[in-house]
Amino acid sequence: MKDSLGFPPGGLSAGGALARPPERKAEAESPAESVERLRQSVRGLIEVLGRMIERRDPFVAGHQRRVSDLARAIAAEIGLSPKAVEGLGIAGQIHDLGKIAVPAEILSKPAPLSALEYDLVKTHAQAGFDILKGISFPWPVAETIHQHHERLDGSGYPRGLRGEAIIPEARILAVADVVEAMSAHRPFRPAHGLEAALHEINRNRGRLYDPAAAEACFRMFREKGFRFKE
């Protein structure tokens, strides 16, 4: 039964504040439950970011999924821990997040890019890092994305890092990214094909690409039957 103002009997405390029901003691969360809850939160964040990118550029969204699959396969083949493989998969799913800062008409341009347009596209590695650097992932996701266009000889971007200065996750992601990008169609060019992509990786392993990652990638396609999912 409510009073004339619509409040239930005893709905206000003596001090005039709304009375609150007695609080139940929170049940203690086990370490395993905490880890799983963190993983679910990360997956939710990645899904949101992925949908955000896909709405803007469907080519980027499909590319990221395929790169993530290949990067995880290479990492597992090399012998990285399951935790590292999982983190690399996460980074792969959003490695082109920074392209939301690139004008859409450049990303979907059905012709070769000018030097100025290409310079704008190259800003995506830094932009992706800037977006993610404040998030405390349990893996080096932001730095992997920051470095995935670096090359062993220092010819990459955005910082021209060389050799061991590039983290292993980024070296693996670089190989997966190049192979998928060359294999697939893009608005500004037709697909080069898988054979050309594997030739590029094999020809430049040790100079541009990490040798172990390049060799593992080659094995995945040649011996393990890996194929990109559409």
Radius of gyration of the chain (CA): 24
Whether 172 and 78 have beta carbons less than 8 Å apart is answered as yes
Q: What is the mean predicted confidence (pLDDT) over 116-123?
A: 95
On whether the CB atoms of residues 142 and 181 are closer than 8 A, the answer is no
**53-84 pLDDT, tens per residue?**
777 776 776 889 999 999 999 999 999 999 99
Pull the structure tokens for residue 68: 């993530």
Q: Cα–Cα–Cα angle for 45, 46, 50, nearest 5°? A: 120
Higher pLDDT among residues 153 and 228, named by residue: 153
Structure tokens at 91: 């980074």
Q: Which residue has the higher pLDDT, 58 or 99?
A: 99
For residue 71, the enclosing domain spans 58-222
- Identify which of 170, 94, 101 has the alpha carbon closest to the alpha carbon of residue 135: 94
Q: pLDDT > 90: what percent of the chain?
A: 59
Q: Given pLDDT bands bounded at 50, 70 and 90, which one contains residue 200? A: very high
Q: What is the pTM of this model?
A: 0.81
14 occurs within a structural domain? no
Residue 53 located in a structural domain? no
Domain annotation covers residue 80: yes
- Asked whether residue 134 is assigned to any structural domain, the reply reads yes
Quick check: is 36 in a domain? no
Query: What burial class does residue 152 get, using C-beta atoms within 10 Å of its C-beta: 0-12 exposed, 13-18 middle, 19+ buried?
Result: buried
Mean pLDDT of 163-172: 97
Residue 20 resides in a domain: no
Task: Identify the burial level of 121 via C-beta atoms within 10 angstroms of its C-beta, where 0-12 means exposed, 13-18 middle and 19 or more buried.
Answer: middle
190 pLDDT above the threshold of 60: yes
Percent of the chain with pLDDT over 70: 86
pLDDT confidence of residue 137: 87
The domain tally of the chain equals 1
pLDDT at 4 (0 to 100): 41
Residue 113 lies in a domain: yes
- Tell me: pLDDT of 146 over 50: yes
Residue 230 has pLDDT above 80, yes or no: no
Peptide bond into 158 cis (omega under 30): yes
Task: Indicate which CATH number applies to the domain containing 117.
Answer: 1.10.3210.10
Residue 225 Cα to chain centre, angstroms: 24
Confidence of residue 199 (pLDDT cuts 50, 70, 90): very high
Question: In angstroms, rounded to a whole number, what is the distance separating the alpha carbons of residues 109 and 14?
Answer: 68
- List the single range of 79-88, 124-133, 186-195 with lowest mean pLDDT: 186-195
